[in-house]
Amino acid sequence: MASLAHTRSYGERALNATNTTAKLIFETMERKKTNLAVSVDVTCTSDLLAIIEAVAPYTHVDILEDFDHSLIERLQHLGREHDFLYFEDRKFADIGNTVALQYSSGVHKISSWAHVTNAHPVPGPSVIKGLSSVGLPLGRGLLLLAEMSTAGSLAVGTYTEEAVRMARKHRDFVIGFIAQRRMEGVGAGPEDDVSTEDFLIMTPGIGLESKGDSMGQQYRTPRTAVLETGSDIIIVGRGIYGTDPKEVDRIAAKAERYMSEGWAAYLERLS
């Protein structure tokens, strides 16, 4: 039997979530009435902070050219003030021992501040074991990249199925997927009880005014992603912050538009 996770409200799904971060994400979405994550790919701290102040959601740190640890304190303060969580889209993809060090240490100390991070399943379960050794004691959550939004992505077919099988075996830490559709039941065998499965699906490649970029990115609308293919959270970058991170009013207005389209599609899905 197929799971009905996406037909239940975020609030209901929070009640059934066993991972601390998954619960926190569902509760926050229900409380703030938003299923929007803003992806902030900028290279300097002042632009990053300006955009976060304008939209208050999630980001990348590894492309910042002027990262220093005081930024983490600023981010944590902003997160508490505006009631949002951080997803570091780090896309770990190495052996367990190495990713554990990359996650906990180095300049960015990602595990100390990011509620959620993600990993490519390409190394096999080792990547989950390594990240989980650091993240699980801190109550963090992991998303596996089961699919990508780019044209010609190799994350399709049996690769995607294997990613979901890996997740199924590590449900304490793997809370869901970066994907373009729902993943409950994908690659399942007769021994799997998929009727109770509930994966958090975060979906990039979202744009209202464009179909893609010149480098293979492909966009769908919030409505298509949430209503037609069951995404739980839409990830929007340039559709919101555009080309000038200083245009705070325009950025806030765009964020509001994506947020209201994403939420309307979710309400329609529930009804």
- Told to check if 200 binds ligand 5BU by CB under 6 A, we report no
Asked if residue 237 binds ligand 5BU (CB under 6 A), the reply is yes
Least distance CB 217 / ligand 5BU (angstroms) = 5
Q: Count of residues binding ligand 5BU (CB under 6 A)? A: 16
Tokens 């975020």 locate to 10
Q: What span, in angstroms and rounded, lies between the C-alpha atoms of 58 and 39?
A: 6
Task: Determine, following the binding rule CB under 6 A, whether residue 217 of this chain makes contact with ligand 5BU.
Answer: yes
Query: What is d(CA 152, CA 214) in angstroms, rounded to the nearest whole number?
Result: 14
Of 89, 184, 197, 232, the one binding ligand 5BU by CB under 6 A: 89
Instruction: Report, in Å, the least distance between residue 196 CB and ligand 5BU.
Output: 26
244 carries an active-site annotation: no
Q: Which of 193, 186, 110, 127 is nearest to 155 (CA)?
A: 186
Active site annotation includes 62: no
Q: In the chain, what are the helix, strand and coil shares in percent, each to the nearest 5?
A: 45, 15, 40
Catalytic residue among 32, 47, 91, 109: 91
Q: Cα dist. 6→108, 186, 232, 255 in Å? A: 34, 15, 8, 23
**Is 137 exposed, middle or buried (CB count within 10 Å of its CB: 0-12, 13-18, 19+)?**
exposed
Q: How is residue 224 written in tokens?
A: 């298509």
Q: Rule CB under 6 A: say whether 50 interacts with ligand 5BU.
A: no
Nearer to ligand 5BU, 188 or 206 (CB): 206
Q: Is 205 in the site for ligand 5BU (CB under 6 A)?
A: yes
Of the candidate residues 30, 41, 62, 247, the single one contacting ligand 5BU (CB under 6 A): 41
Query: Site residues (CB under 6 A) for ligand 5BU?
Result: 39, 41, 89, 145, 148-150, 178, 204-205, 217, 235-239
